[in-house]
Each structure stands twice: as structure tokens, then as C-alpha cells.
């Protein structure tokens, strides 16, 4: 996602050709309701434009409490969806499935659905209230000038940057970020043309203007994670001041009544309508005059169909986009995990191997940021031990069901063997990949639980960092990258490590942790590295999850500890994941209602220790 706001509308030169999708779709029940929904939204958008900051704060907090009240039903419905089999699968009926424990899936669904949504709404409300009171949201530390603005041959130089710490949250006394996310720090890097005072003025202008963008946004929801569409809608409503038509993915049709209940305050306020359906509904909504903006979370094929009407390989060199409206999007990534060589303790190796394994098995690897390529140094003396630890943890996890459409066929294509007859997809960890002879492993994003490891030749940390950074530019995507860094007392090595982080061309660079956490924290802007265009969007255009309304975001760096303790609740082998994710959701709900949260935090302790 590029980082340019307020881009001009895109105009069509060949308006005689009607816009249409090339993807197939069955008739949509929501289609007959489209006209009425858009009429209500057009009126709601006008009313939302006149809504005071205080009323927007109240609306966000009311919605947070409503989501929390529906959290169990939301997560249970999502779990049921992911225990089914894709259409046409040869697997066994649900009642006979003995694979991944449903509790592990329920914890994942609670974390990525209701929990993250409630947190986003609370952060949004607090930022709006702070800005109304003092002009800018509160921070845990003052913004500071970055030290990475020197020229870099690989990127043609980095711009002047200001660093803004957004995690832990400034009001973490209510959210308890320092306890729940112990050892984590999230820093957003924004482009600035002057000192910190100049940046503050730019930020204040952004807060005054961006939420009055207005109009009606069409949000085309993704099918892999149930919380994505809700978060995208919330960002459009509060960050841009738009009313939203949320078109749910067909896989999420069963969630429609639950999301209507959870997001009920937004619907009652006239800022949200929810319809489920396929491409016929999307096509009609895109073409509707009332829709002034489009936001898509999906794949490159969906983007090309939406913007160009044809696949990229069939697009003429002089082709003009068929979409006449501004679009923002998030399109996925071939996500690398770079392991910088050094001396790690056994505990550090175990923790980082677990973090990588968890990033692979989560959600059956149907995530745009599931790890797809582990990059190591061939001469690193702990390499084989580390890879064995990853493989051991993966082997301990039961195979999950192939619930996402087309997954079985893709898995068989990449794994070069037939999938199991029970309808599951085992995780494949291909070590020692030859990037030249087996380039197909990383030439595209494979939406299946298959990951490769490539060992680079390097005789020093400096050479490895250079080669690893170069290798990431050979794989598609600019959304997020992960890096494991050893502790070092050598200042030169430490500087080289930081230089690697500075110049990885990704929207989020996560250190010693999975970049998905940046999305879950909801205060770290989420989108591709700057530079995407309609012709080559890379990982997308625009961004979500910027409740602090930071201007001109360049990218973000999320840092975590080498050893994660306590065990993260989103690890599939955490036996108390459900209790922990429910407990944190309840804590955030209490914060949204202005109630004390310390007791809710203390109640989590037994499950923290038992997990």
C-alpha cells in the first residue's frame, strides 16, 4: 500500500466499454437490496460529515462495547467456517474430523476478529478525544528525528524521517500494553521536511482534514480472516469520515447477522450497511454513482479485474484503467523471514523457531503475511539445529482442513503430490531451496501451508545482510518482512543490523516476532511500502489501521523480545488461548465503557501461567 493520501480520482478514457469483472460468481441475495442500502448511506454520509468529534468518540466506544458483546458468537461462527471443507473436497464429514483442536482455531478467530476490532475502536476513540482536547493524540514518547536519512545506493536514498512510537499506547494504564505486550515496541516512520515541530504542524493539519474526506466507500472484504472487513470499514468511517457499504466475501455470508449485531451502532448511525455476495454484487456497487471510493483486500487477480478488467498478462502496454474512482487496497505478499547469523542460546533458538512455525500454521497459512521464505546463512553454525527445531514444531501440529476455495489444488501443484484423503493440508517445509532452479516457490504468493528455506552464501554478517536485503527484492510484495536478530555487544555489528532494518522495502519490518502482530495491535499503519501504482500496485495502495492519523507514513518497525514469555495465546499449542483472548477482549470492553481494568488483567494470570 502506497502512502499517498487524497489521490485524485482516476478517469476512464474508454468509457464506451462497460466495467465488468472477469471472475465467475453465483447470484447474490444481497443484490436486490443494494439500491436502498446506498440511498441510506448517501444520507448517512451527509449526517456523518456534520457529526462532532465528541459524537464520533461516543460512536466508536459504543461500537466497541457492541462488538465485545457479540464476540463469542462471532468467533464461534468463524471457527465453524474454518472446520468445513472447500467445495468438492474428498474429506470426511465434520463430525469425524480429528485434526487441529477446535480450541486452537477459536483462539485465533477471537484474536483476529473481535479482540482486534475492539482494540481498534478504543484506540480510535482515544485518539479522536485527545485531538479534540489538545490538537494531537497522546504518545508514550515525543516524536524524534530518525538517523537513517543518509543516501542509500539500493534505494536512491531515504527521505528525512520522523519516528513516532505508537506501541505501547500512551494510555496503557487502561489497556495494560506494557504487561500484555511485554517487551514490544512499535515505531512508525513518517516523512518530514523539517524538524519535529514542523512534523507536529503537518500532523495537526492531517487530523483536521482527513476525517472530512466524506462520501461513500465500498469495502470489498477478504475471505480469509473475518476481522479484516470490519477493520477496513471502521478505518473508512473514522479516519476518512466516509459512510461504508461493506460487501462481505461469500465465505462470510453466515457472519452477516452477527456482524450486523456487533457493528449495530455504526448501522444505526447511518455510516454502515452490510451485504454478502459475490462479484455480481461488487460489480453493481462499484458502478453505483453513490460510491465515491473503493477499498479492496484481496489478491492481485481481483485488483486487475477491478481496475483493468483483464489479467495483467493480457493487459496492453497502452491500456487505460477502467475504474473511474479512487481505490485503496492491500494485496498480499511473499513474506520473508530473515535469520541473521550469530550466537543464539538454546532458549532463543526455541523461541524464534516457535515464532516462525506459528506464523506458518496459523489459519492454515491462508494469510497474506504467512511466512513463505526463511532466509538463512549457509555458513551459520546453528543453521541445521534451527531448521530442525522449526520442523519439529511443525510436525507436532495436526494438519488443518482445506477450507479455503482452491487450496487443495494449489497445495498439490506446489507439493508435487496428492493431498491426504481426509481433506487436510499438511505443512510442507522445503529446506535448501535452489532459488534459480526452483524459483516457482517464490515467484508468487502460494495461499497454502508450504514454506521454503534458502541458504545464502556469505562470509560475514555484513555480507549476509546485504545479500538478504537484495534477495527480498527478487520476490513479490512489499507488505511485511520478519527478521531475527541476535544480541551483540559489537557496535559495528549492531549498526549493520539496524541498516538492514532501515532499508528493507516493506510497510512493516518485524524484529524477533511475526509481522501479523503489527496488524493485530491496530495502531501500526498497515500497507505496502511506498511506490505502488495502478500499473504495479505491489502489495497495495493506501493503508488501514492509522487511528492516530499520522501523516505521510513511510513504514513501521515492530520490535519484540528474542524470547517470548509468556507463551503467546495465538500459538496453536497454547492450551489457554481461548481464555486469554476472551479475557483481553473483556479488558478492552471495560476500557471502552470507562470501567477499571486492573482486576480484568489480574484474572488473566492463572491462564497466562497455565498456557
How do residues 461-501 score in pLDDT, each as one tens digit? Answer: 999 999 999 999 999 999 999 999 999 999 999 999 999 99
Burial bucket for residue 116 (CB in 10 Å: 0-12, 13-18, 19+): buried
Alpha-carbon span 183 to 14, nearest angstrom? 54
Listed as own residue / partner, the contacts of 122-126 with beta carbons closer than 8 Å and 24 or more positions apart are 122/60, 122/61, 122/64, 122/175, 122/588, 122/591, 122/592, 123/169, 123/522, 123/523, 123/547, 123/548, 124/60, 124/234, 124/238, 124/239, 124/547, 125/57, 125/60, 125/61, 125/64, 125/592, 126/169, 126/171
Mean pLDDT for 132-154 is 79
Q: How confident is the model at residue 126 (pLDDT cuts 50, 70, 90)?
A: very high
Beta carbons of 486 and 344 less than 8 angstroms apart: yes
145 forms bridges with which residues in the sheet? Answer: 162
Q: Where are the domains of the chain?
A: 9-51+139-331+508-570, 335-505
> Is the per-residue pLDDT at 435 higher than 90?
yes
The pLDDT of residue 88 = 64
553 forms bridges with which residues in the sheet? Answer: 190
Mean pLDDT for 86-90 is 68
The pLDDT of residue 32 = 84
Whether omega before 343 lies within 30 degrees of 0, making that bond cis, reads no
Q: Give the Cβ contact number of residue 611 at 10 Å.
A: 18
Mean pLDDT for 30-58 is 95
> What are the Cα distances from residue 13, in Å, to 252, 264, 308, 319, 335?
36, 40, 12, 10, 36
Alpha-carbon span 104 to 110, nearest angstrom? 10
The pLDDT of residue 147 = 78
Alpha-carbon span 481 to 465, nearest angstrom? 14
Q: How far does Cα 571 stand from its chain's mean position?
A: 17
Burial bucket for residue 131 (CB in 10 Å: 0-12, 13-18, 19+): buried
Which residue is associated with the grid cell 516462525? 356
Selection from 299, 431, 406, 425 nearest residue 365 by Cα? 425
The pLDDT of residue 405 = 94
**CATH of the structural domain 335-505, one choice from 3.40.50.620, 1.10.287.3510, 2.60.40.420, 3.40.309.10:** 3.40.309.10
375 forms bridges with which residues in the sheet? Answer: 338, 454
How do residues 267-313 score in pLDDT, each as one tens digit? Answer: 999 999 999 998 899 999 999 999 999 999 999 999 999 999 999 99
Selection from 228, 214, 225 nearest residue 326 by Cα? 214
Q: How confident is the model at residue 12 (pLDDT cuts 50, 70, 90)?
A: very low
| Collapsed DSSP state (helix, strand, coil) of residue 448 | coil
Q: How confident is the model at residue 171 (pLDDT cuts 50, 70, 90)?
A: confident
Q: 379 vs 15, which has greater pLDDT?
A: 379
**What CATH topology corresponds to 9-51+139-331+508-570?**
Aldehyde Dehydrogenase; Chain A, domain 1 (3.40.605)
Q: Give the Cβ contact number of residue 209 at 10 Å.
A: 14
% of the chain beyond a pLDDT of 70 = 91
How do residues 536-579 score in pLDDT, each as one tens digit? Answer: 999 999 999 999 999 999 999 999 999 999 999 999 999 999 99
Per-residue cell: 527: 500497507
Amino acid at each position: 500500500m502506497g502512502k499517498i493520501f487524497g489521490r485524485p480520482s482516476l478517469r476512464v478514457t474508454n468509457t464506451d466499454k462497460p466495467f465488468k469483472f472477469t471472475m465467475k460468481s453465483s447470484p447474490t441475495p444481497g443484490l436486490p437490496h443494494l439500491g436502498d442500502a446506498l440511498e441510506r448511506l448517501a444520507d448517512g454520509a451527509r449526517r456523518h460529515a456534520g457529526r462532532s468529534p465528541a459524537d464520533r468518540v461516543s460512536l466508536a466506544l459504543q461500537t466497541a462495547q457492541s462488538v465485545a458483546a457479540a464476540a463469542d458468537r462471532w468467533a464461534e461462527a468463524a471457527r465453524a467456517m474454518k472446520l468445513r471443507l472447500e467445495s468438492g473436497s474428498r474429506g470426511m464429514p465434520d463430525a469425524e474430523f480429528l485434526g487441529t483442536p477446535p480450541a486452537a482455531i477459536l483462539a485465533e478467530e477471537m484474536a483476529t476478529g473481535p479482540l482486534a476490532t475492539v482494540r481498534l475502536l478504543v484506540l480510535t476513540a482515544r485518539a479522536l478525544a485527545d485531538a479534540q482536547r489538545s490538537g494531537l493524540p497522546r504518545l508514550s514518547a515525543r516524536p524524534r528525528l530518525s538517523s537513517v536519512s543518509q543516501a542509500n545506493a539500493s534505494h536512491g536514498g531515504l527521505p528525512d524521517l520522523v519516528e513516532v512510537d505508537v506501541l505501547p499506547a500512551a494510555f496503557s494504564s487502561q489497556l495494560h500494553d506494557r504487561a500484555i505486550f511485554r517487551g514490544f515496541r512499535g515505531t512508525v516512520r513518517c516523512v518530514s521536511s523539517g524538524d519535529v515541530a514542523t512534523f507536529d504542524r503537518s500532523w495537526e493539519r492531517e487530523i483536521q482534514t482527513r476525517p472530512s474526506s466524506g462520501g461513500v466507500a465500498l469495502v470489498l472484504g477478504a475471505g480469509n480472516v473475518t476481522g479484516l472487513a470490519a477493520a477496513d470499514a471502521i478505518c473508512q468511517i473514522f479516519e476518512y469520515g466516509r459512510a461504508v457499504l461493506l460487501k462481505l466475501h461469500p465465505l462470510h455470508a453466515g457472519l452477516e447477522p452477527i456482524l450486523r449485531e456487533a457493528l449495530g451502532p455504526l448501522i444505526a448511525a447511518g455510516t454502515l450497511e452490510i451485504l454478502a455476495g459475490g462479484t455480481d454484487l461488487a460489480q453493481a456497487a462499484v458502478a453505483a454513482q453513490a460510491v465515491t471510493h473503493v477499498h479492496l483486500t484481496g489478491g492481485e487477480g481481483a485488483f486487475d479485474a477491478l481496475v483493468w478488467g483483464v489479467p495483467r498478462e493480457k493487459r496492453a502496454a497502452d491500456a487505460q484503467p477502467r475504474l473511474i474512482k479512487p481505490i485503496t487496497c492491500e494485496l498480499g505478499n511473499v513474506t520473508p523471514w530473515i535469520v541473521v547469523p550469530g550466537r543464539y542460546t538454546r532458549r532463543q533458538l526455541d523461541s524464534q523457531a516457535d515464532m516462525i512455525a506459528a506464523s506458518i500454521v496459523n489459519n492454515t497459512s491462508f494469510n497474506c503475511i504467512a511466512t513463505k521464505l526463511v532466509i538463512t546463512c549457509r555458513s551459520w553454525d546453528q543453521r541445521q539445529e534451527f531448521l530442525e527445531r522449526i520442523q519439529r514444531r511443525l510436525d507436532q501440529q495436526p494438519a488443518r482442513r482445506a477450507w479455503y476455495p482452491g487450496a487443495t489444488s494449489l497445495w498439490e501443484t506446489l507439493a508435487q503430490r496428492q493431498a491426504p484423503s481426509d481433506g487436510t493440508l499438511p505443512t510442507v517445509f522445503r529446506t535448501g531451496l535452489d532459488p534459480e532452479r526452483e524459483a516457482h516457490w517464490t515467484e508468487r504468493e502460494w495461499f497454502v501451508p508450504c514454506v521454503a528455506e534458502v541458504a545464502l552464501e556469505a562470509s560475514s554478517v555484513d555480507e549476509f545482510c546485504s545479500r538478504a536485503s537484495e534477495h527480498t527484492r527478487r520476490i513479490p510484495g512489499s507488505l511485511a518482512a520478519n527478521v531475527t536478530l541476535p544480541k551483540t555487544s559489537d557496535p559495528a555489528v549492531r549498526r549493520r543490523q539496524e541498516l538492514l532494518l532501515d532499508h528493507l522495502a516493506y510497510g512493516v519490518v518485524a524484529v524477533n516476532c511475526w509481522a501479523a502482530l503489527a496488524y493485530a495491535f491496530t495502531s501500526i499503519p498497515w500497507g505496502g511500502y511506498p511506490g505502488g501504482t495502478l500499473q504495479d500496485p505491489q502489495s497495495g495502495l493506501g493503508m488501514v489501521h492509522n487511528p492516530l492519523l499520522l501523516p505521510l507514513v513511510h513504514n513501521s518497525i515492530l520490535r519484540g523480545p528474542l524470547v517470548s514469555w509468556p507463551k503467546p495465546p495465538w500459538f496453536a499449542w497454547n492450551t489457554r488461548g481461548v481464555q486469554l483472548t476472551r479475557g483481553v477482549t473483556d479488558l478492552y470492553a471495560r476500557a471502552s465503557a470507562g470501567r477499571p481494568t486492573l482486576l480484568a488483567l489480574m484474572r488473566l494470570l492463572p491462564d497466562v501461567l497455565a498456557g
